[in-house]
Amino acid sequence: MIHASDLIKYFGGKRALGPVGFEIRTGETVGFLGLNGAGKSTLLRILSCDLRPSGGSFSIRGIDGVRDPHAVRQLVGFLPEVPPLYGDMSVGEYLRFAGLLRGMSTEQVAARVPEVEQLTHTANVHGELIRHLSHGYRQRVGLAQAIVHEPEFLILDEPTKGLDPAQIAEMRTLIRGLKDRHTVLISSHILPEIRETCDRLLVLRDGVLVASGTPQELSARLQSRRIAVTVLPNHDSLEPAAIEASIRRVHGVRNVTSTGRVDGALSFVVEAASDIRAEVCRTLVGEGHGVIRLDRADQELENVFLELVQGASSASG
Amino acid sequence: MRAANVIFRRELSEYLRSPLGYIVAATVLLLDGLLFYSQALGPAAGERLSGEVLARFFYNTSGLVAIAAVALSIRLIAEERQTGTLVLLSTSPVREWEIVVGKFFSALVFLGGITLVSIYMPLLIMVNGKISLGQVFVGYTGLILIGAACLAIGVFATALTRHQLVAVAVAATTTAVMFLFWWLSLVIDPPLSRVAAGLAMHARHFQGFQDGALNLRDVFYYLAVTYFFLLVAIKVMEAKRWE
C-alpha cells in the first residue's frame, strides 16, 4: 500500500505540489491526471524517491519514504517522462546494468534480461546501441529497465508521450499486461490513455488533488449536477424565458440554458449543486407544464476531465 | 559498495568507448612527449644530470595530469544530469557516496592508465643515463595523487550543475586557485603566507615527489584534498534532492 499525507514540494519559492494526501492499495492501477504543470511528475518523482518533499510524508508498504528512501527504492521501478537511457550502451548491456544497480546478482540478471526483453518486445534489438533506436523502442527499453528487478510498485510518468497511435496502443497493451504483477501508477494528461488502463483516477490541478474515483464515478459525479429538461408549455405562446424563470426558482439551481424548441417543446440544460430532478419536475408540473423528458445530461468523460483540471465552478470535487 | 563497483565498471567502459577519453589521452601524451623532447633529448636540452631530467619530466607531467583530470571529470555527473540518465541512479537503491566513489575511481583508473603510458620517457632516460627506480616510483605516486586531488575537484564541480561548461569553469578556477596559493604565499606576510604555502597544491607538496623523496605529509595533503572535495560532492548531491 502507498500512503501519502500532506505532501508538499517547493521549487525555490514556488509551490509545485500540495498539500496532497491519498492511499493506493496493493494491486491497484491508478492514474494521475492533470494538465501540464499540475504537479504529476513532481508527485511521481517524490514517490520514486528521486526528489524529497518539502513537507508531509509518504510510505510504501509501511516504509517511510522520507526517512528511509533507500529501502523504498528497492520496491519501486520508475519510468520518467524522458527514459534514462545511455545511448552508447546496447539494450542488453543497459538492462544488465539497470538490474545490477537494483541489487540483482549476475545470475539473476542473466536470467531476467531475456524475460524482460520478451515482455517488452525488445528482444530483436538486444545487441543494438540505444542511440540507434526509434522513439517507440526507446520507450519500451525505458519500461524494461523499470521492471527488470520485478518491483512491487511501478511508476510510469507519461509512458506514451511522443508515441504514434500504433505505438500508444502497443504500450497500453504492455501496461495492461503488467497490472497482474505490479501496483501501477501512471500519469498522463490524456484521458483516453489512462481511462482504459486504470482502476482509479486521481485528478490534480495546480498541485492539489481535486477529485478521485473510478472513471465512471467521476463522470457520474458531475453528470448528476446537469439535468436535461424538455417541457411542453401550458400555452403555445409561452416564451422560454418564462419557463427558465420557473426553473430558476427551484432551490439549488445555478444556471439554466435554453437549448432549443422542437414541435412546441422547449429544452433546457439545468446546472445545480445536487441532483434536483424531482424538485424541477414538481415545480413545472405544479405550474401546469408538461414534462416530457427529464434526465441527467449526457457528458463525455473528456468534458468531465476538462472541467476538473481547468477548475470549472461545477467541479469542486 | 557493490553499486559503486557497478557504476565504476560502466564509467570506465564509457571512457574506453567515447572519443573524450582518447582525445584527452592523445593530447596529454603528445604534449608530454613534446615537452620531454625539448627539455631532455632535443638540441636545446643542454647538459643535465639524469635525475634532474626525470624531476623536470615529473614537474611537466604533473601540470598535464591536473588539466587531464579536470577534462575527464567534467562529464561524470553534469552530463548525466543534462541528459536525464542520473534519474536511473537516483531512483535505484544506490547511495550518493556510491555514485560519487564509483565515478571518481573510474576516472582515476583511466587517468592512471594515461599517466603510466608515459613510462617510456623515464625508460629513455634510463637507457641514456642513470636514474633511481625509487625516484620513478615516487614520481608516479605523486602524479596519481595530484591527479586524484584534481579529479576530486572536478567531481565536486560536476556535481554542482547540469551545465558542463559551468562545471569546467568551476573546476578550472578551483584548481587554479589551489595552485596559485603558492604565488600568494610569496606576496603576503607570515603567518598567512605559511597557511597559503601549506594549501598550495603544487610547489611545496609536489617537490618531494619529483625529486624522489616520499614525505608522508605530502601524501596526507593530497589524500585530504581528495577526501574533502569528494565529501563536498556527496553533500552537494544529497542537497540537490531537496532543491
Whether A74 and B95 lie within 8 Å, measured CB to CB = no
Strands A153-157 and A183-188: what pairing? parallel
Q: Which of B14, B86, B92 sits opposite A101 (nearest CB)?
A: B92
State which amino acid sits at residue A161. K
A6 contacts A18 by C-beta, under 8 angstroms: yes
Query: Can you say whether residue A293 is alpha, beta or left, with left for phi > 0 and alpha for psi between -120 and 50 degrees?
Result: beta
In angstroms, how far is CA A163 from the centroid of its own chain?
18
CA angle A252, A255, A256 (to 5 degrees): 115
Distance CA(B47)–CA(B53), nearest Å, equals 10
- What's the mean per-residue pLDDT of chain A? 87
**C-alpha grid cell, residue B49:** 644530470
Average pLDDT over chain B reads 90
Contact criterion met (CB < 8 Å) for B92 and A97: no
Residues from chain A contacting residue B85 (CB–CB below 8 Å): 84-86
Radius of gyration of chain B (CA): 19
CB within 8 Å of B222: residues ≥ 6 apart? B145, B146, B148, B149, B205
Do B87 and A80 make contact, defined as CB atoms within 8 angstroms? yes
Which of A52, A74, A97 is closest, CB to CB, to B10? A97
β-pairing, A76-79 with A153-157? parallel
Residue B182 has pLDDT above 90, yes or no: no
CA pair distance A248, A254, nearest whole angstrom: 8
Which residue stretches of B74-132 are H helix? Answer: 75-83, 86-90, 96-117, 120-128
B241 and A50 within 8 Å at the Cβ level: the answer is yes
**B137 confidence band (pLDDT: 50, 70, 90):** very high
**Nearest-angstrom CA–CA distance, A74 and A152:** 9
pLDDT-above-70 percentage for chain A? 91
- Tell me the shortest Cα–Cα distance from A94 to chain B, in angstroms: 10
Q: Is the pLDDT of residue A312 over 60?
A: no
pLDDT band at residue B150 using 50, 70 and 90 as cut-offs: very high
Most A CBs within 10 Å, among B82, B88, B96, B98, to test the A interface: B88
Give the nearest chain A residue to B79 (CA atoms).
A86
Average pLDDT over residues A110-138: 94
pTM of the model: 0.82
DSSP character string of B17-58: HSHHHHHHHHHHHHHHHHHHIIIIISTTS-S--HHHHHHHHH
Calculate how close chain A gets to B91, using CA atoms only, in Å. Answer: 5
Q: Please give the ipTM for the structure prediction.
A: 0.86
Phi then psi dihedrals of residue A246, to 5 deg: -65, -45
Nearest to B88 among A49, A84, A88 (CB): A84
CB contact under 8 A, B90 and A76: no
How confident is the model at residue A313, as a pLDDT?
42
- Judge contact between A75 and A60, C-beta under 8 A: yes
pLDDT higher than 70, residue A221: no
Query: How far is B152 from B15, CA to CA, in rounded Å?
Result: 17
Taking the CA of residue A278 and the nearest CA in chain B, the distance in Å comes to 54
B18 neighbourhood in chain A, CB within 8 Å: 88
DSSP secondary structure letters along A94-124: HHHHHHHHTT--HHHHHHHHHHHHHHTT-GG
State the pLDDT confidence band at A4, using cuts at 50, 70 and 90. very high
Smallest Cβ distance to B6: which of A11, A49, A101?
A: A101
Taking the CA of residue A196 as centre, how many other CA atoms within 13 Å lie in the half-sphere pointing to its CB? 13
- Going by C-alpha positions, the residue among A1, A16, A2, A10 that lies closest to residue A58 is A2
pLDDT digits (tens, 9 = 90+) for A129-160: 999 999 999 999 999 999 999 999 999 999 88
Report, as an integer, the average pLDDT of B24-40: 88
Q: Which residues of A touch B237 (CB under 8 A)?
A: none
Residue pLDDT, tens place only, A179-220: 888 999 999 887 777 777 888 999 898 899 888 888 777 766
In tens, the pLDDT along B66-103 reads 999 999 998 899 999 999 999 999 999 999 999 999 99
